[in-house]
Amino acid sequence: MELLITIDTEPDCDIHWARTNPMTFTSVTEGIPQLLRPIWNKFNVNPIYFVCPQVVQNDECCEILKKEIQQGAIIGTHLHSEYIEPNITECAGKPSYEFPCFAHSKEIEFEKIKNLTELIEKKLGVRPEWYRAARFGADLDTLQSLQKLGYKYDSSVTPFINWSKKGGPDHSKAPVQPYWISKTDYYIGANEKDSTGIKEYPVTIWKKRLGILGKFLPDEWLFYSWLRPTHMTVIEQKNLIGKFIKKFKNPTMVMMFHSQEIMIRKSPYVRNKFMQKIFLKRIKKAISYYSKLAK
């Protein structure tokens, strides 16, 4: 049984998800050492930071992340494809909307992943083995690119969630527990020998919230049960953890959130100090509950 804490590590945004202009990085330079590191130390957590191009291009962010690596953190690749060559298409002041697997050809997506991988290795001194696509926009072509680049793990799958109405992939039929990805289907498990060689670690998601009333909720990500403090209460997260422990033998659970979500007015979700305390409490209480059950 294990709990992975994953953070999509990105520049600051405003309350409408538009990037700050000029770009700022307070969630990395302040949020990680001041707000998150004390939690990691308390619960002996080695988080996975999925870093996007803008973050790893910033020297101050890199200094923070190097210190995190020294303390056991893992660095993964988080492809916001708008922000790295070839064909950069976005800049500060705009929201990020691309699903990398559909926004570019297989060849261009490969080059973007390759360039970001090499940039991470150059700036942080580690070769990433973990990958998560921005907006969870990955498909089998993405996995083939990852295989060529020596990746071992992907965490782009969001079970139960269909992003196709927004222009993304349909992950709704994906397994909810880790699996070796088949060479022919992103959502089918295979023996390690017959797989792509990459193991999928889906974000921990279950069916609609609110029990039997959930069937009346719109088919939007917000109304599904995620191990995600962004929108899930402490009680909901505890219930989800308990469900997975009861339903699966030695389950793996993957919590995710964005780095900027822990900061005040750097995302839509934390507007003031009180909301920030609630967000951090949700992280701590979920980890604490898992730790007690794992003993």
Residue-wise pLDDT for 145-182, tens only, equals: 999 999 999 999 999 999 999 999 999 999 999 999 99
Evaluate whether 47 touches 74 at the Cβ level (below 8 Å). Answer: yes
* Burial track 96-124 (b if 16+ CB lie within 10 A, e otherwise): bebbbbbbbeeeebbbbbeebbebbeebb
Across the range 277-288, mean pLDDT stands at: 98
Across the range 119-125, mean pLDDT stands at: 98
Asked if residue 91 has pLDDT above 80, the reply is no
Q: In this predicted model, what pLDDT tens digit does every residue of 197-248 receive, in sequence order?
A: 999 999 999 999 988 888 889 999 999 999 999 999 999 999 999 999 999 9
Beta strand extents in 163-262 (DSSP E only):
179-182, 195-200, 205-208, 224-226, 252-258
Closest CA to 22 of 77, 93, 110: 93
Task: Cite the DSSP H helix spans in 125-205.
Answer: 140-148
State the Cα–Cα distance between residues 146 and 114, nearest whole angstrom: 9
- Token pair, residue 85, equals 């060559």
Evaluate whether 101 touches 141 at the Cβ level (below 8 Å). Answer: yes
Give the architecture (CATH level 2) of 2-294: Alpha-Beta Barrel (3.20)
List the domain boundaries for the chain: 2-294
Q: In this predicted model, what pLDDT tens digit does every residue of 31-83 receive, in sequence order?
A: 999 999 999 999 999 999 999 999 999 999 999 999 999 999 999 999 999 99
Name the pLDDT band for 87 (thresholds 50, 70, 90).
Answer: confident
Closest CA to 138 of 179, 181, 87, 89: 181
pLDDT of residue 89: 80
Output the pTM of the full model: 0.97
State the Cα–Cα distance between residues 115 and 137, nearest whole angstrom: 18
For the chain, the average pLDDT equals 95
Helix (H) or strand (E) holding 8: strand 2-9
pLDDT of residue 80: 94
The residue with greater pLDDT, 120 or 22, is 120
Across the range 253-279, mean pLDDT stands at: 97
Evaluate whether 181 touches 200 at the Cβ level (below 8 Å). Answer: yes
Asked if residue 92 has pLDDT above 60, the reply is no
DSSP single-letter state for residue 36: I
Asked if residue 116 has pLDDT above 90, the reply is yes
State the Cα–Cα distance between residues 26 and 105, nearest whole angstrom: 33
Evaluate whether 39 touches 63 at the Cβ level (below 8 Å). Answer: no
State the Cα–Cα distance between residues 102 and 134, nearest whole angstrom: 12
Asked if residue 93 has pLDDT above 60, the reply is no
State the Cα–Cα distance between residues 290 and 55, nearest whole angstrom: 30
